[in-house]
Amino acid sequence: MTDPLFSSDSFAPAPDVCGLQGAPLAEASSLGLHVPVGEDVLDLGSPEADLDGDGFMEAVTLGDDRGLTVFTDADGDGTVDHVSTVRFDGSYDSWRLANPTEGVPFGGFTNETRGDAGGDPSAPARWERIDHGHI
């Protein structure tokens, strides 16, 4: 199942993830974590959490009045590839960046070479919802 990070309902006033309001567009020279959203790439700033204990910071947590979202760069390339949102109403969603294959452009950036790259090299990077529910 492929879902955008933003609601598919065109009348929805806010994105499915929390905390992206006001995030600036990323520049190629930016050292912050980048998250592709639609045709754009947003700069989330410097990572602030080490989620796997390897000594490297790889996550940014952002929030708003609806909930919290953790944006994670699991492979260390500077691009967010996992997003988890928990809303204060008890709902949650998780996404992963699908097909981040070598040389595939998204939002003006190009994915870096990966050892496990595969899939259709002409397909654009997209978000795939991997879990959702209500606590």
pLDDT at residue 91 in the model: 95
pLDDT at residue 93 in the model: 93
Question: What gap in Å lies between CA 121 and CA 102, rounded to an integer?
Answer: 7
Averaged confidence pLDDT in the chain: 77
Sequential DSSP letters for 21-72 = TTPPBP-TT--S-EEEETTEEEE--S--B-SSSSSS--EEEEEETTEEEEEE
Instruction: Determine which of 1-5, 26-30, 65-69 has the lowest per-residue pLDDT on average.
Output: 1-5
In a domain, 14, yes or no: no
In a domain, 115, yes or no: yes
Range of the domain at 112: 34-134
Q: Average of pLDDT values for 49-72?
A: 92
Please give the angle made by the CA atoms of 40, 17 and 3, to the nearest 5 degrees: 70
- Whether 15 contacts 5, CB under 8 Å: yes
In a domain, 2, yes or no: no
Q: Per the structure, how many domains does the chain have? A: 1
In a domain, 11, yes or no: no
Q: Average of pLDDT values for 59-70?
A: 95
In a domain, 88, yes or no: yes
In a domain, 6, yes or no: no
CA 71 to chain CA mean position, Å: 6
In a domain, 109, yes or no: yes
In a domain, 27, yes or no: no
Which pLDDT band, with edges at 50, 70 and 90, does 114 fall under?
very low
Q: Which residue has the higher pLDDT, 113 or 40?
A: 40
